[in-house]
Structure 1
Amino acid sequence: MALTPSNVMRVGTFAPDFMLPDTVSGVQIPLEAIQGEIGTLVLFICNHCPYVIHINKLLVKLANQYQSQGINFIAISSNDVENYPQDSPDLMKKHAIENKYPFPYLYDETQEVAKEYNAACTPDIYLFDANLKLYYHGQLDGSRPGNKIPPTGEDIKTAFEDLINNKRYTHRGIPSVGCGIKWKK
């Protein structure tokens, strides 16, 4: 697995709009329909990435905790399913149900949404404020598969708490790292 860091997106950038199918419900969902009252966490993930598998339980726990506080979670998979069939929409649905995702798991078949976000890796994590302006882009925490640091979500939880408390995020954002998005050729 090649370690790929996230690309830069400037704080204050508006979230690129999208309408994507939710793999569980089959319904096309626009961003505005699922944005949070206080914030929106957009996660580029996939089924098979060891970096995502490493944090799945924590993502569910954080979503259950923070969605009730006005921060909605949205997961998107943009991987090329022709070459990586384990990330197909049917298997995304199964994955979301098995992991009890309390958030939509959307499929970006054309990869246009990932390109608009300048996403590079899984997980790639973007937190937007109530106006869909980028508030935080970076890692969940310092845990990685095999580094013996348990996932806590400390970096993203700090960003959540600052956003909820209407504070300016002043901590240095550390880029997320993971598997590179599997781009179509």
Structure 2
Amino acid sequence: MAFVLSSIMELGKRAPEFKLPDTVSGELLSLEKLKSDKATIIIFICNHCLFVKHINSKLVEIANKYQALGMQFVAISSNDVKQHPEDTPFIMAQVAKYHKYPFPYLYDKYQDVALNYGAESNPDLFVFDHNLECAYTGRFDMTRPNIQPATGADLISALDMLLLGEKPNPNQYPSMGTSIAWKHGVYRNDDNIF
């Protein structure tokens, strides 16, 4: 799978609604049900990507800290499981339990949620404020697998600013990782039109 730098969502854009199955509980969960009145963090990940594996433990640590402060994390996998059988919902649930994800791990079977968000890489981060308006979109941090430990510095900075009632720095760097495995016939262009 190719390495990609993701597009940046326009700051202030409202979070697209979704309703997806949680692979652990089996419950159908919506953004409306999950959203926080402080901040809602949507992160597109998958099971097999080295970039996701690199940040997993730090992501769990950060999620535990900031969810205790009233924020909500939501993970979504949109990978085509025909291309990557290790990303099936059954294995997603196993991964979530193994890493003790403190957030739901949702399966985007038809990839429409990834398309609506403009997600392109695993991982791809979107932070929405109390109004569900995009306040941060970009990388978890500047680290890379097998080079230096994940810190989550960029995400932490954005979340801390929101806790202070301020806007994160608008100079944001794109997420980086392996491309979402798109199903045959799903294409992207620069305008996010398919």
Task: Provide the rounded CA distance (Å) in 2 between the counterparts of 1:93 and 1:70.
Answer: 24
Counterpart secondary structure, 2:74? strand
Task: Provide the rounded CA distance (Å) in 1 between the counterparts of 2:157 and 2:180.
Answer: 26
Counterpart secondary structure, 1:62? helix
Give the aligned CA root-mean-square deviation in angstroms: 0.9
Q: Is the 8 A contact 1:45 1:122 kept in 2?
A: yes
Alignment length (residue pairs): 184
Give the corresponding residue for 2:138.
138
Counterpart secondary structure, 1:53? helix
Give the corresponding residue for 2:76.
76
Deviations 1:94-115 (A, max 9, x none): 0100010000000000000000
Give the corresponding residue for 2:188.
none
Q: Is the 8 A contact 1:122 1:180 kept in 2?
A: yes
Q: Give the CA deviation at 1:165.
A: 0.5
Q: Give the CA deviation at 1:49.
A: 0.3
Give the corresponding residue for 1:48.
48
Q: Is the 8 A contact 1:142 1:149 kept in 2?
A: no
TM, length-normalised to structure 2: 0.93
Task: Provide the rounded CA distance (Å) in 2 between the counterparts of 1:156 and 1:20.
Answer: 24
Task: Provide the rounded CA distance (Å) in 2 between the counterparts of 1:125 and 1:162.
Answer: 16
Counterpart secondary structure, 1:20? strand
Letter in 1 for 2:179: G
Task: Provide the rounded CA distance (Å) in 1 between the counterparts of 2:134 and 2:32.
Answer: 15
Task: Provide the rounded CA distance (Å) in 2 between the counterparts of 1:30 and 1:89.
Answer: 17
Give the corresponding residue for 1:128.
128
Which aligned pairs between 1:1-185 and structure 2 lie closer than 5 A? Answer: 1-146=1-146, 148-185=147-184
Task: Provide the rounded CA distance (Å) in 2 between the counterparts of 1:96 and 1:176.
Answer: 22
Task: Provide the rounded CA distance (Å) in 2 between the counterparts of 1:43 and 1:88.
Answer: 17
Counterpart secondary structure, 2:24? coil
Q: Is the 8 A contact 1:37 1:130 kept in 2?
A: yes
TM, length-normalised to structure 1: 0.97
Deviations 1:67-123 (A, max 9, x none): 011211000000001121100000000010001000000000000000000110000
Deviations 1:119-141 (A, max 9, x none): 10000000000111000001111
Runs of 4+ in 1 over 2 A off after TM superposition: none
